[in-house]
A and B are shown apart, each in its own frame.
Chain A
């Protein structure tokens, strides 16, 4: 598989899978304004995934559309980070998952403004505007929930225990990312790692909670080795395209 195709596909999968997860909240949020905020972020993420899938399809050159790539691939072809596919859990878990991702995505898109590929730069520029707002929103909620009540703090600590193990994968490159960095298409992961940790430290500091040190990190999503959750997510998402293949909607 062409490495630049794999690299862009991975970025698209991250955005789609997290957007899909977040959309599950629509109509069920704890506060009407936050219900709207989550749907808004989900809309942005699915929108980003569409641009990236279109670009990936072009790079691959086999005429696959955004929908072919989103709906007609199976678990082991999906390249999103494990973090993105983790279930929503309670609002604390959703917020923390979002924050970890936004902190990565913000610095990743910032770095991609320098990509050698013009289309990637354009997508990064548009997405960065959106992600800047997402990161502000999720950071504020991390602070609010950690600082809020005993219960909200406890819930954030529980979420941290569940999610921390999935954060290492964000900044640990796999082969196609290393190649993309070398060719100038992608980003330098040493820098991203440093920036991500700084961002998380900054917000956790403001919130008044410690960043865990070390701990075993899960990996595999970027190479198509997923948690059990992804299969169900895809079964749900792909249902119509799988049941009625090749039709127009």
Chain B
């Protein structure tokens, strides 16, 4: 029986049918999706912190408004994604609990600090840029609610990417100090962004399964290559140097070759040893713990209101 269901399920996926919340699905499919969607949601929420760091110091009112709108979008992405995860039977508070206890992961990139204003541009250009490459294929993910959430998310991410690039472009046309700020940000954000695509395919045990289920459509290395190719051209427009002496065009492959990734750093940051892991978790926990009385008050008020209106009905 189980076997049969699994075959039907797989043939639906092979026919590019969307799987919906009430449909039968293998446990492992459900678990894989919950893990991926919640990690994605957490990344949106934690990502608000490094960028929020510059809201009060944005250099102009126009930039302040642009940055606030962006960070608010990320909160919205978190909301859509938590809702998508909820369709798989896990509620938001449970997922928050996993984030706050350190059990759940989020994108490692947000464990790096935003040191200068140019970092805000670099995040938009590189981090949102890498996120788009990862996420556009997810708009065709086999799980319906996730795919639909990603359509909305991707539209906004490409706006973020353009906004980030535009911040950097202004700096590139500015003073020596601004150019220096720009180069420093690119130096610091380049490698972590290249790592955002995850380990090399040989070291990515879940990749094959996700491909079969059409949660994933392209390999980590293919997406990474595409990212490097696109960014190299854009870096020329910004007049910045990518901090990789080995980047060069490979005529034969039709792609840019690039240097070796420091996977030791990647795994250390995942393990909690990045420059800001502790701060990010502490900030999330603080917001959550200090907000407990607010959530309790809101619930108590709602309950009292309900009681009062019931009494009225009786009377």
Q: Which residues of A contact B (CB under 8 A)?
A: 16, 20, 23-24, 26-36, 39-40, 42-43, 46-47, 49-50, 53, 66-67, 70-71, 90-91, 143-145, 147-149, 151-152, 155, 236-237, 239-241, 244, 247-249
A43 touches B65 (CB 8 A): yes
B294 touches A31 (CB 8 A): yes
Q: How far is the CA of A225 from the CA of B67 in the complex (A)?
A: 31
Q: How far is the CA of A241 from the CA of B295 in the complex (A)?
A: 39
10 closest A-B pairs (Cβ-Cβ)? A30-B291, A148-B297, A152-B297, A27-B48, A27-B52, A30-B294, A249-B59, A240-B59, A39-B72, A144-B301
CB of A5 to closest CB in B, whole Å = 18
Residue of A nearest to B92 (CB): A32
Q: How far is the CA of A241 from the CA of B297 in the complex (A)?
A: 42
Contacting residues, chain A, for B52 (C-beta < 8 A): 26-28
Query: Which one of A27, A29, A149, A249 lies within 8 Å of B293 (CB-CB)?
Result: A149
Known A-B contacts A30-B295, A31-B291, A155-B293; A46 and B300 likewise in contact (beta carbons under 8 Å): no
Residue of A nearest to B69 (CB): A43
Q: Tell me whether B101 is interfacial, beta carbon within 8 Å.
A: no
Q: Tell me whether B283 is interfacial, beta carbon within 8 Å.
A: yes
Q: Tell me whether B45 is interfacial, beta carbon within 8 Å.
A: yes
CB of A43 to closest CB in B, whole Å = 5
Contact with A along B35-61 (1 / 0, CB 8 A): 000000000010011001001111111
CB of B218 to closest CB in A, whole Å = 31
Q: Which of A46, A67, A249 has the most CB of B within 10 A?
A: A249
A43 touches B68 (CB 8 A): yes
Contact with A along B141-181 (1 / 0, CB 8 A): 00000000000000000000000000100110111011000
B57 touches A237 (CB 8 A): yes
Q: Name the interface residues of B12-32: CB closer than 8 Å to any CB of A.
A: none
Query: Which one of B56, B72, B283 lies within 8 Å of A236 (CB-CB)?
Result: B56
Sample 5 A-B pairs with CB under 8 A, ordered by A number: A23-B56, A32-B79, A53-B61, A91-B291, A151-B296
Q: How far is the CA of A147 from the CA of B304 in the complex (A)?
A: 8
Main secondary structure of the interface of A (DSSP, over half): helix
B174 touches A32 (CB 8 A): no
Q: Which residues of B contact A (CB under 8 A)?
A: 45, 48-49, 52, 55-65, 68-69, 71-72, 75-76, 78-79, 82, 117, 167, 170-171, 173-175, 177-178, 283, 286-288, 290-298, 300-301, 304-305
CB of A91 to closest CB in B, whole Å = 5
CB of A166 to closest CB in B, whole Å = 21
CB of A236 to closest CB in B, whole Å = 5
A46 touches B64 (CB 8 A): yes
Q: How far is the CA of A151 from the CA of B296 in the complex (A)?
A: 9
CB of A57 to closest CB in B, whole Å = 12
CB of A40 to closest CB in B, whole Å = 7
A149 touches B296 (CB 8 A): yes
Residue of A nearest to B46 (CB): A27
B79 touches A33 (CB 8 A): yes
Residue of B nearest to A21 (CB): B56
Contacting residues, chain B, for A26 (C-beta < 8 A): 48, 52, 55, 68, 71-72
Known A-B contacts A30-B291, A151-B297, A248-B170; A49 and B76 likewise in contact (beta carbons under 8 Å): no
B291 touches A249 (CB 8 A): no
Q: How far is the CA of A40 from the CA of B79 in the complex (A)?
A: 15
Given contacts A43-B69, A148-B300, 9 further A-B contacts (CB under 8 A): A20-B56, A30-B290, A39-B72, A91-B294, A145-B294, A148-B296, A149-B300, A237-B56, A248-B173
Residue of A nearest to B289 (CB): A30
Q: How far is the CA of A31 from the CA of B45 in the complex (A)?
A: 12
Known A-B contacts A36-B76, A236-B56; A46 and B71 likewise in contact (beta carbons under 8 Å): no
Contacting residues, chain A, for B49 (C-beta < 8 A): 27
Query: Which one of B177, B283, B301 lies within 8 Å of A147 (CB-CB)?
Result: B301
A149 touches B291 (CB 8 A): no
Residue of B nearest to A16 (CB): B61
A249 touches B297 (CB 8 A): no
B175 touches A67 (CB 8 A): no
Known A-B contacts A32-B78, A148-B296, A240-B117; A249 and B170 likewise in contact (beta carbons under 8 Å): yes
Residue of B nearest to A246 (CB): B175
CB of B106 to closest CB in A, whole Å = 13
Q: How far is the CA of A170 from the CA of B117 in the complex (A)?
A: 35
Contacting residues, chain A, for B175 (C-beta < 8 A): 244, 247
Q: Which of A29, A53, A66 has the most CB of B within 10 A?
A: A29
Contacting residues, chain B, for A71 (C-beta < 8 A): 59-60
Query: Which one of B63, B72, B298 lies within 8 Å of A249 (CB-CB)?
Result: B63
A152 touches B71 (CB 8 A): no
CB of A19 to closest CB in B, whole Å = 9
CB of B115 to closest CB in A, whole Å = 13
Known A-B contacts A23-B68, A91-B294; A239 and B301 likewise in contact (beta carbons under 8 Å): no
B75 touches A35 (CB 8 A): yes
